[in-house]
Amino acid sequence: MTARAPRRLGAVGYLNARPLVHGLDRDPRFDLRYDVPSRCAALLHAGETDLGLIPSIEFLRGDDYRIVPDLAIASRGTVASVALYTTRPIGDVRSIALDTSSRTSAALTQVLCAGLFRIAPAFEPHGPDLPAMLARADAALVIGDNALFLDGGVIRLAPDDGAAGGAREVRVEKIDLGEAWLQMTGLPFVYAFWSGRTGALAPDEVEALQRARDGGAARPDELAAAWAADDPARRAVAARYLRDNIKYRLGEDERAALDLFYRYAAEAGVVPAAAPLRFY
């Protein structure tokens, strides 16, 4: 009998994904690689991975995708690592630079602009460089580890190409998008989950992914120590973030939140249409 080839897993390289991949690099059933969320989605769409820890909005852009049950990167309220940074009151924002690492958070930004902030800004993709982003736009979406350690306050902007004058300082407010979604809906928000095509996983592999989550979610201090071994201050922030901000289950409230997010995203024109959730 021919042994089954390892499942090719595309995981997010951010700190918040560490609990979901705990120990998977030692499991011969899996071949693990790390990328930014947008790249994880692109690899899955292209068939270069069997399963991706994809931005939740990308489920709607896939062909015959299924979701691994009860696994997610989510938050109920403050997430700390998905944020808008604004140089003016949100109601006065006319342009937003969107972190190109992101797809779900970019879609969430557009949904919140339409449904909560009541603004219709221009959106411009940009690499995750806050000073450069805010030199070109009134606000910027930044996600992941970059946002986790980036608070508001006074920052020095890079001079915009072709603009008169040099660098300048501005005061920036950080708006947590997990908090904003909770304010608008009363629900948690699901940023990412494991997804792949029908037949990509056997039942024992689904169970292995769930056990990895159980082991990783129980070890926030250990994972934070490995991630920031030489920086006690960052290690403390990382441990608190894994323990208090990020949730790893895809329960009833999270499924309801996904259904609502997909409906709002379709209404805002971010995706052509919503679709029902389908699971392994």
Helix, strand, coil percent content, the chain, rounded in steps of 5: 40, 25, 35
Q: What is the pLDDT of residue 83?
A: 97
Are residues 94 and 30 located together in one domain of the fold?
no
Residue 272 lies in a domain: no
Residue 201 shares a structural domain with residue 232: yes
**Do residue 68 and residue 143 come from a single domain?**
no
Task: Please identify, among 185, 206, 239, the residue that sits at the C-terminal boundary of a domain.
Answer: 185
Instruction: Using the 3D structure, point to which of 142, 170, 185 is the last residue of a domain.
Output: 185
Same domain, 87 and 181: yes
Taking only the tens of pLDDT, the chain with its 280 residues reads 456 889 999 999 999 999 999 999 999 999 999 999 999 999 999 999 999 999 999 999 988 999 999 999 999 999 999 999 999 999 999 999 999 988 999 999 999 999 999 999 999 999 999 999 999 999 999 999 999 999 888 888 866 544 445 668 889 999 999 999 999 999 999 999 999 999 999 999 999 999 999 999 999 999 999 999 889 999 999 999 999 999 999 999 999 999 999 999 999 999 999 999 999 9
Q: Is residue 274 part of a domain?
A: no
pLDDT at 156: 83
Domain ranges, residue 47: 7-74+189-267
Count, in order, helices (H) and strands (E) of the chain.
Answer: 9, 12
Q: Are residues 66 and 100 in the same domain?
A: no
Q: Residue 45 pairs with which residues in a beta bridge?
A: none
Residues 60 and 199 in one domain: yes
**Is position 275 within any domain?**
no
Cβ-proximal residues to 20 (8 Å cutoff; 6+ apart), any chain: 11, 53, 71, 73, 194, 209, 212, 213, 216, 248
The total number of structural domains that make up the chain: 2
Do residue 34 and residue 59 come from a single domain?
yes
Same domain, 65 and 146: no
Query: What does the pLDDT read at residue 155?
Result: 82
Single pTM value for the model: 0.93
Domain CATH for 147: 3.40.190.10
pLDDT score for 166: 61
Same domain, 66 and 199: yes
Please give the Cα distance from 193 to 58 (Å, whole number).
10
Does one domain contain both 102 and 47?
Answer: no
- Predicted confidence at residue 2, as pLDDT, reads 57
100 and 125 together in one domain: yes
pLDDT at 163: 47
Q: Which of 154, 185, 216 is the last residue of a domain?
A: 185
92, 181: one domain: yes
| Residue 277 within any structural domain of the chain | no
**In the prediction, which pLDDT does 4 show?**
80
User: Which residue(s) pair with 124 in the sheet?
Assistant: 97
Q: Are strands 168-176 and 82-86 parallel, antiparallel or unpaired?
A: antiparallel
248: in domain: yes
